[in-house]
Amino acid sequence: MGCGSSSDANDVTKSTDSGKNNGKDNLVEPQTDPADFPYIPDGYPPPNPSRTKKAKLFDESKYTHIEERAVNAPDTAGNSFTELFEYLFNGLNIELEKVRAIFCWIGHKNQTPCKGGPDDSPNAILQQVQNKNMSFAYIFARLCREADIPCVIIRGVAKSAGYEVGDDESKVRELNNRWAGVSVAGEWRIVFPLWAFSAIAGHSTGKYTLVESKGKAAREKEKRSTGENIVQLNEYYFLTDPEDFVNVAMATDPRWQFIGKQFNLEQFCNIPFLRQSYFNRNVEITSGFKSCLHSEYGVVKVGFKARNEKWEGFLTYKLYFNDEESESVLPTDLQLDRYVVMERNFEKWTFNVRCPVTGVYKLSINSKSSTSNDISLCDFKMFCDEVTEGGTKALPLDVGTIGWGPSNEMVKAGLTTPSQSKGIVKATAKKKVNFSFTCTKTVSIRTVLVHNETSSEELQSYVSHKHDKSSNKLNVSVCVPDEGEYALQILTKDKNTNKELNACNYIISTEPTPQQKKKKKKKRENVTERKARDDLKKASTGNDLEMLSIFIVKFQRMGLDDKGDLEIALKRQNFLVLEKGTYFLF
């Protein structure tokens, strides 16, 4: 059946039908199941943590014959429970096989409108489910119980299409949903039929503007949309491992979470928005494991690590600005390209988001391979209360998915054992910084030094390299001429293919860290800084919203002390926005 996410169109792997959403969150079950159907009957085995991983319990390839039989079930088989079970369970002896047959029958039968059948028959119930009069959890539990398989309906909250990362407890409480717990192989397992059989593609709250993607500038305002309904078959929500499931859907009664360390609502809200693909176990979050992250000196950091050093994929990102919740406004002359430093150290990634203006952001992390499109992994909401002292500057170079620092791509390009393991290297102007590598291939080397305001041709004399063929050592020497931030690119060309590859990149910075900048003694404002303050104060008394917004950003970039002037300007900006009656966006 394939894996996919019920709320992310990128992850839907098999869809058979779609249509405009009716404005409701169709990833939430209706509240109209039969009143005489107990969700948790008396006499069932008590809920306990699941002991067995899905990968060990269930091998999909061994159940293909069950799915094929469910696909080919005649419509008339669903006219009674007896007929349906005689057909589906033919040759099946264990509960897991029967549960699989029920799951597959509902999923495949749901791909087309059901014509119904005799009262209270499987066909009649499925028709009611498709008409949103009964829930998928009900038909799944009903079929299991009719087959004498213990099955409960579990109430809880789920991060469905209406969820946005960072939503507080009051909003999440409204995301009520239901799924099933079925007893197989001596333990309780989770099945979420609604999310297995349906999804919503293109849902958007309209709060965010995409401002940077993979190092490239963007200015794409999201449109508010309820999205489109997708009918799908998503294998992930069949026997989902409880310790993964609780990150996206949490049983209100902790006992029915089937985990040892049970979640409460606060924990559920405080974790990042983990998408289905995150649980493929390719990568894990190593720092910043929170739904809401706050900047430190204008920078927000999130760390990742590949669980397998030989993983061939890589990470990408998208940065969004929240237009509704941010007090600052993005001016027209500000393009947010090259503000995210994707630092590498082989199987490790650190995303350093250097916020150019104060406000609320969202960082979406995706995974990608050479043969696949971007797949969403997780989202974070970020709050920036101050920009970097002295203003935030764009990176000198867009290096794409290879990032900054040593990586597996460097090894493929013919270099190993780098002397510098971090992507950001501190330096002093007019003093040498050395880099060394071991060459594993017969390659020619080219080194380039890049700066935002000086051409690479002018900087060529400040970078040199030497390849010692006897030891296969490559030594690169850089001596930056002035204070600032530079990019070092090391490129290799394989003499057999004559193809040049970007092997490795480093940021060479002579600038003090944000912490050091903060500690430096404040100097008297110069003429330019005093003019920036005067312009801000003057604009704060007028009605020109565009000019005020420009002066606010200029003031923030220069890193001037507030002294109350910036606070007044921001309040005036907010007043002018409200007065106009529309949200002003440059």
- Each residue of 306-327: pLDDT tens digit? 998 778 888 999 999 998 999 8
Residue 203's pLDDT is: 85
Check residue 519 and give its pLDDT: 53
**Is 351 contained in some domain?**
yes
Give the chain's domain count. 4
Q: Are residues 363 and 468 in the same domain?
A: no
Task: Work out the average pLDDT over 172-199.
Answer: 96
What pLDDT shows up at residue 18? 44
Which residue shows structure tokens 């190593």?
286
- pLDDT at position 17, please? 44
What pLDDT does residue 516 have? 53
Owner of token pair 């050093």: 309
Q: What percent of the chain has pLDDT over 70?
A: 91
Q: Are residues 510 and 538 in the same domain?
A: no
The last residue of one of the domains, among 515, 544, 559, is 515
- Region at 7 (left for phi over 0; alpha for psi -120 to 50; beta for the rest): alpha
Only one residue has tokens 């609780």, namely: 246
Mean pLDDT of 374-400: 87
In a domain, 394, yes or no: no
Q: How confident is the model at residue 371 (pLDDT cuts 50, 70, 90)?
A: confident
Assess whether pLDDT exceeds 80 at residue 64.
yes
Does 213 fall in a domain? no
Greater confidence (334 vs 249) lies with: 249
Determine the average pLDDT of the residues in 559-581: 84
Q: In this structure, are 509 and 533 located in the same domain? A: no
The average pLDDT across 27-34 equals 88
Average pLDDT over residues 239-267: 97
Q: What is the DSSP letter of 558?
A: T
In the predicted structure, residue 216 carries a pLDDT above the cut 90 = no
What the block records as the tokens of 40 is 């948790």
5 pLDDT exceeds 60? no
Is 265 part of a structural domain of the chain? no
Q: What is the CATH number of the domain that holds 418?
A: 2.60.40.10
Out of 489, 515, 541, a domain closes at 515
Q: Please check whether residue 390 is in contact with residue 290, taking contact to mean a CB–CB distance below 8 angstroms.
A: no
Q: How far apart are CA 256 and CA 191, in angstroms?
A: 12
Higher-pLDDT residue of 273, 225: 273
Structure-model confidence comparison of residues 262 and 522, the more confident one: 262
Give the rounded percent of residues in the chain with a pLDDT score beyond 90: 69
Query: Is the confidence at residue 4, as pLDDT, over 50?
Result: no
Confidence band of 7 (pLDDT split at 50, 70, 90):
very low
DSSP string, 470-504: TTTEEEEEE--SSSSEEEEEEEEEETTTTEEEEEE
Query: Are 183 and 284 members of one domain?
Result: no
DSSP characters for 348-398?
EEEEEEE-SSSEEEEEEEEEE-TTS--EEEEEEEEEESSPPTT-----S--
**∠ CA(561), CA(298), CA(478), 5° rounding?**
105
Mean pLDDT for the stretch of residues 493-522: 78
Is the pLDDT at 576 greater than 50? The verdict is yes
**Average per-residue pLDDT for the chain:** 89
Helix 95-109 / helix 136-146 crossing angle, nearest 10 deg: 140
Given 351, 384, 417, which residue is the final one in a domain? Answer: 384
DSSP secondary structure code for residue 246 in this structure: T
Least confident of 236-240, 371-375, 522-526: 522-526
More confident residue, 263 or 528: 263
User: 242: number of CA atoms within 13 Å, CB side?
Assistant: 25
Residue 145 counted as domain residue: yes
Helices 545-557 and 527-539 cross at an angle (nearest 10°) of: 150
Measured distance CA(305)–CA(446) in Å, rounded? 30
pLDDT at 524: 72
Give the pLDDT score at 25: 54
Q: pLDDT at position 438, please? A: 96
Helix axes 136-146, 81-88, angle to 10 degrees: 80
Evaluate whether residue 18 is within a structural domain.
no
Q: Over the range 80-99, which residues count as b (16 or more CB within 10 Å of their CB) and which as e? A: bbebbbebbbeebeebbbbb
pLDDT at residue 409, rounded to an integer? 92
Asked if 254 and 282 sit in the same domain, the reply is: no
pLDDT per residue as tens digits for the range 134-185? 999 999 999 999 999 999 999 999 999 889 999 999 999 999 999 999 999 9
Containing structural domain, residue 548: 527-583
Q: Which of 199, 202, 180, 275 is nearest to 14 (CA)?
A: 199
Per-range mean pLDDT, top range of 102-106, 328-332, 455-459: 102-106
Tokens 């974790």 belong to residue: 271
CA atoms of 284 and 303, how far apart (whole Å): 9
Q: How confident is the model at residue 388 (pLDDT cuts 50, 70, 90)?
A: confident
Q: Kindly write down the DSSP assignment for every residue of 268-281, as one continuous string.
A: HHHS-EE-GGGGGS
Angstrom distance (rounded) from CA 394 to CA 333 = 13
